[in-house]
Amino acid sequence: MLFWLIGATDCHTKNFSIALTPGGRFTMTPLYDVLTVQPGLDAGHIQSKQMTLAMRVGKNRHYRVGDIFGCHFLETGLAAGLSRSQVETVFQEVANIREVAFVEACARMPQDFPDSLAASVKKGFEQRLARTELPRPDT
C-alpha cells in the first residue's frame, strides 16, 4: 500500500528482505530500491495509464495506479487472512502519521534535494490516500 501511495510502481518481492537475527528471530530489513515515478507523472513525462504497479492489488488484478482504491487493498488483505478491522487500522495509522513521516523523511534528504520532488510525492500520496475510504459494510 505504501508504494502505491507514494507512486513507487516497482514494488515486488525482491524489494523486501528478511534478516535472521541472533537467537533465531526474523526481522524485516530496511526497504531499498524504492523509486517514485510521481514527479514524472506530474511533469507530463508519463501518462497516468502508464503508471502501473509491478504487483496486482485486489481480486480482479488491478495494476494501474489510478484504478486502485482502498477496497482493492481490503480484498487483498482479506485474502491474506487479515480482518476488515485490521485493514482499516492500517489505513488509519498511515493517515495519522503521514505529516510527521513526510517531515522526517524530508529532514533526512540531502540539503540540495529539490522541494518540488518532495511536494510532488506528497501531493500524489494525499490524492491516493483519499481513495482508501472504504464503504461501510452491510449490517
pLDDT digits (tens, 9 = 90+) for 46-72: 999 999 988 889 998 899 999 999 999
Distance (Å, rounded) from C-alpha 133 to C-alpha 131? 5
Distance (Å, rounded) from C-alpha 93 to C-alpha 4? 16
Using 50, 70 and 90 to split pLDDT, how confident is the model at 14?
low
Q: Indicate whether 13 pLDDT > 80.
A: no
| Residue of 33, 136, 131, 124 whose CA lies nearest to 84 | 136
For residue 133, what are the contacts with CB-CB under 8 A and spacing of at least 6? Answer: 70
pTM (2 decimals)?
Answer: 0.83
Q: Is 82 exposed, middle or buried (0-12, 13-18, 19+ CB in 10 A)?
A: middle
